[in-house]
Structures are given as structure tokens and as C-alpha cells.
Amino acid sequence: MSGTRNLILVLGDQLTPTLSGLAAASPEHDRVLMAELHDEATYVRHHKKKIAFIFSAMRHFAEELRASGWTVDYVYLDAPDNLGSFSAQVAQAVSRHRPERVIVTEAAEWRVSQMQAGWQTQLPVPVDILPDDRFLCTPSAFKEWAAGRKQLRMEYFYRDMRRKTGLLMDGDKPAGGKWNLDAENRKAAAADLFMPRPKACRPDAITQDVLTLTESRFGSHFGELTPFWFAVTRTDAEAAFDSFVEQALPYFGDYQDAMVEDEPFLYHSVIAQYMNCGLLDPLRVCRRVEAAYREGKAPLNAAEGFIRQIIGWREYVRGIYWLKMPGYDRSNFFGHTRSVPDFYWTAETDMACTKAALTQTRDEAYAHHIQRLMITGNFAMLAGIDPYALHEWYLSVYADAYEWVELPNTVGMSQFADGGLLASKPYAASGAYINRMSNYCKSCRYDVKMRTGPDACPFNALYWDFIARHRDKISNSPRMAQAMRTYDRFTTAEQQRIAGSAANFLASL
């Protein structure tokens, strides 16, 4: 009998000292297991920056745990006893330390949760799977909320979360009288506005080691590894968030939907990667933003808009994920089958808007929401790209990507592949929308005002062709029905030119 009573597995997105698995154990008798795993880095070929970020954050978290008295078995990627997968690593640790039981906090992704469930029968000791209490709404509470509703709409879920947390509430009324100020959050941003950059952190010795390791083991993966500036500790992630609150939050609402050339971050927080791996606590983040509003340091449309993304959208998409998995990943309402175009990996395209979104994706493992939704997502839907292949692309290229949040955003919100379960309408748009919300078109070789021909903005013909192709599937949406009526007023010759332009462009991909 060794000295280990419980073996606690901590996953790479569970880097939270108050994690339920750790709270159920004690540093004196129990042992923590963490492992850098080939399987986790390659089940989709993650962006190099994302792998380095997670490995470095894991190594720093292991140090933090040791400093507070925990015994941590940290299995480095290159360790001789690294077996490459969670299941093999846990089995090895159980046979080595013979604990009385294994404790895990339930995995955020269905794939890993299935592994955890399997350990309950495969391992010779009991396995406790504890709820992940870092979210506001449990999967079963979401299921109850969804039961019997004809339509699941984020807005009503969000109001419940406001009431539950008391965030931006004055008694039982929303602060300022309105629940949702989205209508005030659609300004285009002039390129000469002051735009702060996210706080950059200098890589320390641990991160330098991880960068070398990542280049040597995953050098052929997508993306630029350096410059690497992400925070990898809780303290630095909090400092980065503080800097956002002070500099960018006041403008977050106004310019949430804006896009500006050479400004990859605009007034966005760039904290999803920190929240999703456990370095920042979502509720604390929201309380800090509410405090900035109450102190007069940020307007209500900024604070409400920001809080809605976290207690509304973030929790809502997670609820949908657990409600609909397994199987949700194979949704394909429009029956799209085209492969992801090569330029999604190379950023080599003449479309200035798409090039900008893809270049920063490659360089920073980041694009802001409206770029993901209205540039790469919109293009993919108009071009008829297979939603599953696109989902794998999004899951691999962003530092904040985990299936529970990425999949509903891709399949549901951006591709409408679930037929409207998550989103009330397909987010399909022509070049006119992109031109209204950005300055990309000014430097583009295509003409955003032209509908057809080799110099016309490709989004235009693709948009009208999409409307024509899928009219039977989208006629329920009022906005789409209006677009259909416009299409129907085009002459037959124009409709043929649209079909020809769209086909030519798609053939060139």
C-alpha cells in the first residue's frame, strides 16, 4: 500500500485551484496527475500557439499546486513513461500508486467524458466523476429549461441567468430598464480611432522550453508559434483582463461588430482562451465588468454586451452542446459537401476581408467573433462547405477552441446546419454587409458594388446563389424571405449570370 489515497486527474482545461476534483481531495494524502499528451495535441491538429499555450499553462499550474503543498505527477510530453492518452496514463498511475479511488472533474468535451465513463468499469478502483461547477448552468438544468419549449432562444435563457446571478439587476428589473442593448452595438469603427492592444506577456523559461518542444514535435501543424505573448498564469491572465477593462471595455459595446484592417483585436477582450482553460473565472470577470459600469467607468451598452456574451451565449452554447451530443457534430441541414478550401490554411486569397481574418488566425490563433461569423463562417456557408470539416478547422485553429463551445457556434450559429435550433436565422450576408462593418473593401481587388463577373466581390454572387439554391429551406426566416423576393425580381439573364459567377468562383477554389 503506497501513501496515495486518491488520485486526482486534472485536464488541460481544468487549471483552476478550486476545481471540484481538487476540492474533494487533500494535499496531505492525495496525488494529482497531469499529462502532456500526443493524443490531445493531435485529435485535431491544433495550432502551434494553442498547444504551447496549454502546455505552458499546465506546467505553471502544476508549479502553483506544488507551491500549495500538492504532490503532482506531471508527465512531460517527452517523458519515457508518457503513454500518449488519458486512459493509458490514468491506468499506469493507478497500477503504480494503487490509490483507493480516482477522482476526476467531468470533462468539458463529450469525447473525453466518454473516456471517463469507461474508466468506471475498466479500472480496478472506484472512479468518482464530479460536476464541473465553473459554469453557471448545469447540463441537466439546461435540459429542464429546454424541455417543452418550441424554440430555444438565447435571449430568454440569458434573462434567467441575469436573475440567477443578479448581474446588472436593480431589484428584479434589468439595470437601465432594458435586458439587451444589442441594437446600440453595431457601429463601424473608423481606422484612426485609438485601439489598445491586449497586454502581452514575455515568455519565461518554462514557456521558452515549451516553445522549443512544440516546434520540434508539432512543427508541421498550422500557425505561427512566435511571437508568443499569451498569459500562462492566473496572475498574468488577470492583469491582461484588467488592462482590457481599463482600456477597451468602454468601447466594447459600440464596436463589437466592427472590423478594421490591421486591427486583429479591436476592442475585444481576448480572454476566451484564459476562461476556457480555467485561468479566469467567468463570474468574477462579469462582476468586475459590472463594477466598472457601476463606478461610471464603462457605459451600460458595453457592460451589458460583454456580460451577455459570457452568462448568455457562453452558457447557452454549452447547454445546447450537452443537450444534443452525441450526433450534433454531424448536423448538415443544407447538405453541404465541399472541402475546406486550401486558402483557409494558407491565407492566400485576393478577398481582402478573408485574407485579413485568415492571416491573423495563422499568426495569433485568434479572430474576433464577427470575423469568425461573418467572414470565414459566412463564406463557408455560402460556398457550401461541409459543416463537419469546417468544425474541425475551427476547433484546430483558435487558442480558445474546445468542442463544447466551438461546435454549437460553428454548426449552429455560423452554418445553420442544425436547421435553426440555436440561431433564429442563417447568418448569410453579401459583400454589402462586410463593406458596411469594415474598411476591408477599400483595399480589395474585387468590387463590392458588382454582383457578377470576374471583378465582382465573390460574396455577392455566392450570396444570391445560396438564396436561390436553398429557397425551400430558408423561406421561414423573414429576412431570408425578403432576400428571396429581391432575387425573384432579378431578370432571368441576371439570375443566370449570378449562377455562372458563383459556379466559376467555386470551380477556382
Which residue type does 405 have? V
* 258 closest CA partner among 69, 55, 113, 434: 434
Q: Choosing among ligand FAD, ligand SF4, ligand DLZ, none, which partner's interface includes residue 441 (Cβ < 5 to 8 Å by kind)?
A: ligand SF4
- What is the spatial distance between Cα 417 and Cα 387, in angstroms, rounded to a whole number? 7
| Strand 173-174 with 169-170, pairing | antiparallel
* 437 closest CA partner among 371, 380, 357: 371
Q: Choosing among ligand DLZ, ligand FAD, ligand SF4, none, which partner's interface includes residue 8 (Cβ < 5 to 8 Å by kind)?
A: none
Q: Choosing among ligand DLZ, ligand FAD, ligand SF4, none, which partner's interface includes residue 351 (Cβ < 5 to 8 Å by kind)?
A: ligand SF4
3-state secondary structure of 334: coil
* Member of 231, 351, 373, 397 binding ligand FAD (CB under 6 A): 373
- What is the spatial distance between Cα 146 and Cα 318, in angstroms, rounded to a whole number? 13
329 binds ligand FAD (CB under 6 A): no
**Contact between 398 and 47 (Cβ < 8 Å):** yes
70 binds ligand FAD (CB under 6 A): no
* Member of 41, 213, 279, 411 binding ligand DLZ (CB under 6 A): 41
* Member of 31, 314, 336, 451 binding ligand FAD (CB under 6 A): 314
List strand residue ranges (DSSP E) for 36-191, in order. 71-75, 101-105, 127-130, 169-170, 173-174
**CB 113 to ligand DLZ: min, Å:** 8
SS3 content of the chain, % helix, strand, coil (to 5): 55, 5, 40
46 binds ligand DLZ (CB under 6 A): yes
Burial tier of 345 (Cβ tally within 10 Å: 0-12, 13-18, 19+): middle
* 327 backbone φψ class: left, alpha, beta (φ>0; ψ -120 to 50): left
Q: Choosing among ligand SF4, ligand DLZ, ligand FAD, none, which partner's interface includes residue 54 (Cβ < 5 to 8 Å by kind)?
A: ligand DLZ
Cell numbers at residue 124, please? 480496478
- What is the spatial distance between Cα 2 and Cα 345, in angstroms, rounded to a whole number? 50
Residue among 414 and 501 whose Cβ is closer to ligand FAD: 414
**Contact between 366 and 398 (Cβ < 8 Å):** yes
**CB 139 to ligand SF4: min, Å:** 39
Residue among 161 and 365 whose Cβ is closer to ligand DLZ: 365
**CB 494 to ligand SF4: min, Å:** 19
* Member of 6, 56, 116, 269 binding ligand FAD (CB under 6 A): 269
| Number of chain positions touching ligand DLZ (CB under 6 A) | 16
Q: Choosing among ligand DLZ, ligand SF4, ligand FAD, none, which partner's interface includes residue 15 (Cβ < 5 to 8 Å by kind)?
A: none
Judged by the rule CB under 6 A, the positions of this chain that interact with ligand SF4 are 351-353, 431, 434-435, 440-441, 444, 446, 448, 457-459
- What residue ranges bind ligand DLZ (CB under 6 A)? 11-13, 35-37, 40-41, 46, 51, 54, 107-109, 112, 402
What is the contact surface with ligand FAD in residues (CB under 6 A)?
A: 268-272, 275-276, 306, 309-310, 313-314, 317, 368-369, 372-373, 377, 394, 398, 400-401, 405-406, 409-410, 413-414
